[in-house]
Chains A and B, each alone.
Chain A
Amino acid sequence: MSIHTHHEGEHESAYDVGLLGNDAHWAFGTSFEDPLAGVDTTVPDGVDPGTLAAYSLMLGDDALVLSHRLSEWCSRAPDLEEDIALANIALDLLGQARLLLARAAAADPTLVPALPTGSPVPAEDALAFFRGDRELRNVRMAELPNGDFAETVTRVLLLSVQRLAVLQRLSRSRDAVLAAVAAKGVKEVTYHRDFAGRWFLTLAQGTEESHRRLVAALAGLMPWWDELFTTHPVEAEAAAAGVGVDPATVRAEADLVLDHLLATSGVERPQVRPRAGVRVDGQPRTGRDGVHTEALSRMLAEMQSVARAHPLGRW
């Protein structure tokens, strides 16, 4: 798994043609492209590689899709500080997605979409840019189209409350790779949740208009809350094998955090019916099954267009 690079004669970068000078710091030249280079990715004993890979994709896709929605805010946030904050959160999540998708690919390489011979696209990029919406396993709340700032704050809050509780337990996974990725993620998502929580409180207690927008955002998002804690068979299997976390087990903690924030903010929990899955062969299917809202297809069409147009491209 380790990257083997030879210094002599392999650079095709601008360093070598003298455009940038020797002091330039640019991220090209060494083909460093494996975020798990040298990491032991052996699947633990008694764990089905396909289950571990599918489970890693679920957590990775949550991060990937929310990251993209947050990156859509770039240059559009209410002020520069919040613009940078949202971009930073998007970057953290993209980093988590990259590691988790790479972990999935290492556990079960058959999941990685096939690309033309000679394509330099690494496995985690192939998973991010060459899967269709039916193959993505994120929860649907992550993919909803962006609304106003209150909607994004609320969405980051709800998803971070769930993700932090999951990652904290996942840091004790029997899979050393998932455990390490989760331990790193806990530090990052703690910041995300605090950021969103403070803005939630600020908007709730701000002006009449900010309060109105916040309440509307919460009412629009809460129907998608249940799905975050509904156990998919893959999650149940991963949890039983000691490598994953059953999201149903974090529900009580997540509800407690949310109710505390709502009480502090003076906002009532909206009485809404959970959004049902879509019936496929008589069974309700949701994001974890690859059954999404129309918004995901539109998002992917934009997100994947450049990569799909240039499957042999080098960046």
Chain B
Amino acid sequence: MVTGPRASEIVRDVPADYSPVERPKGPGLSASRAWEAAAAVVDPELPMLTLADLGVLRRVEARPDGSVEVAITPTYSGCPALATMCDDLVRRLGEEGFGDVRLRVELDPPWSSDDITAQGRAALREAGISAPGPAPRESTGPVPLTLAPVRRRLRCPRCGSTDVALTSEFGSTACEALYRCRACLEPFDHVKEH
């Protein structure tokens, strides 16, 4: 049950074109004006990503009384960006004429890096950030302790080289790891598989 250090590293492939199956969105709402306004709000820490592309916007429901209910999920439990996202959602929807906005936190199912859309992944790469590979599957038995360094096979988002090295599993935001490219010598962030 426990995974110890192995003679060889654990290698995780991060294909540049990885695109997960998207979770279905709320019922028939993606075309509504309120959804479009909310979906266009960007992540405060990764402003190249909209909340829809990040996969944290779960539902936007316009009510007959003119109010809007927005369901949002945090990426990590302590993500400090959540309050800002809510602030920005209320502001943006207000600009679209929705003065009465109710925010709901939806914890179940938890956010996964697989919730980042194909468009979001393209936007990350465009901004020089490496997009996550497939999220690890939930284990049914005890979670294995992984002592060997996990080596992700990924490409530098700047020069495309595969000669990259992990600097730290914990980067500038809760959801990123820090890498460096040995070819172009630039550091870059990698959104972690989560």
Binding site for B on A (CB under 8 A): 2-8, 15, 25-30, 32-39, 81-82, 84-85, 87-89, 91-96, 98-99, 164-165, 168, 176-177, 179-181, 183-188, 190-191, 193-195, 197-198, 201, 253, 256-257, 260-261, 264
* CB nearest to A177 among chain B residues: B107
Binding site for A on B (CB under 8 A): 1-2, 4-5, 44, 47, 69, 71, 74, 76-80, 82-84, 86-88, 90-91, 93-94, 98-111, 138, 142-143, 145-147, 149, 167-172, 174, 178, 194
User: A7-B94, A91-B80 known; A37 and B103 CB under 8 Å?
Assistant: yes
Is A2 touching B88 in the complex (CB atoms < 8 A)?
no
What is the CA–CA distance of A193 and B146 in the complex, to the nearest angstrom? 9
Majority SS at the chain A contact face:
helix
What is the CA–CA distance of A146 and B98 in the complex, to the nearest angstrom? 50
Is B77 touching A188 in the complex (CB atoms < 8 A)?
yes
Is B86 touching A94 in the complex (CB atoms < 8 A)?
no
| CB < 8 Å neighbour of B170 from A85, A184, A261 | A85
In whole Å, how far is B37's beta carbon from the nearest beta carbon of chain A?
A: 12
Is B87 touching A180 in the complex (CB atoms < 8 A)?
no
Is B4 touching A32 in the complex (CB atoms < 8 A)?
no
User: A27-B83, A177-B107, A197-B145 known; A5 and B168 CB under 8 Å?
Assistant: no
Is B107 touching A181 in the complex (CB atoms < 8 A)?
yes
Q: Which residues of B have CB within 8 Å of A98? A: 77-78
Q: Which residues of B have CB within 8 Å of A92? A: 76-78, 174
| CB < 8 Å neighbour of A5 from B103, B138, B170, B171 | B103
What is the CA–CA distance of A279 and B117 in the complex, to the nearest angstrom? 57
In whole Å, how far is B3's beta carbon from the nearest beta carbon of chain A?
A: 9
| CB < 8 Å neighbour of A95 from B69, B79, B98, B170 | B79
Is B145 touching A261 in the complex (CB atoms < 8 A)?
yes
What is the CA–CA distance of A4 and B99 in the complex, to the nearest angstrom? 11
In whole Å, how far is B170's beta carbon from the nearest beta carbon of chain A?
A: 4
| CB < 8 Å neighbour of B71 from A25, A38, A85, A195 | A38
Is B171 touching A3 in the complex (CB atoms < 8 A)?
no
Q: List 27 A-B contacts (CB under 8 A).
A: A3-B103, A6-B99, A7-B91, A7-B93, A7-B98, A8-B94, A27-B83, A30-B103, A32-B82, A38-B69, A38-B102, A38-B104, A81-B178, A84-B170, A95-B77, A96-B77, A168-B142, A168-B143, A181-B77, A184-B74, A184-B111, A188-B76, A188-B77, A193-B143, A194-B146, A256-B2, A264-B4
What is the CA–CA distance of A4 and B69 in the complex, to the nearest angstrom? 10
- Using A84-B170, A93-B78 as known contacts, list a sample of 17 further A-B pairs with CB atoms less than 8 Å apart, ordered by residue number in A: A25-B44, A27-B87, A30-B103, A32-B82, A32-B83, A32-B86, A38-B71, A39-B107, A81-B167, A84-B172, A98-B78, A99-B77, A164-B143, A180-B107, A184-B74, A256-B1, A257-B2
